Amino acid sequence: MVNSVMEREIIAQLEKLNLQQQLQVLNFAKSLAGTVPVGVPGKELLRFAGTLSHEEAKLMLEAIEEDCGQLNLNEW
């Protein structure tokens, strides 16, 4: 059962967040409840194998390496 005062406070705080932050809150709440969605089995993704050209794959890898190594110290 949800406490209505707490529910209103949570909603008020959610309204202050951008969409990405709201998704983080949703995923966190799901993890607390034990209902985090399960990923897709690899064999279901095989249909996508070979759909990128070598050049597209290289560009994607470069973008991942460049952007995923960046930290935003003010994010939290």
Domain spans in the chain, listed from the N-terminal domain onward: 1-36
Residue 18 has what pLDDT?
Answer: 93
Residue 74 has what pLDDT?
Answer: 72
Q: What is the pLDDT of residues 15-54, one digit of tens each?
A: 999 999 999 999 898 888 886 567 888 899 999 998 999 9
* Sequence letter at residue 13: Q
pTM over 0.95: no
* Sequence letter at residue 6: M
Q: What is the pLDDT of residues 51-73, one digit of tens each?
A: 999 999 999 998 888 877 666 66
CA distance between the termini of the chain: 30
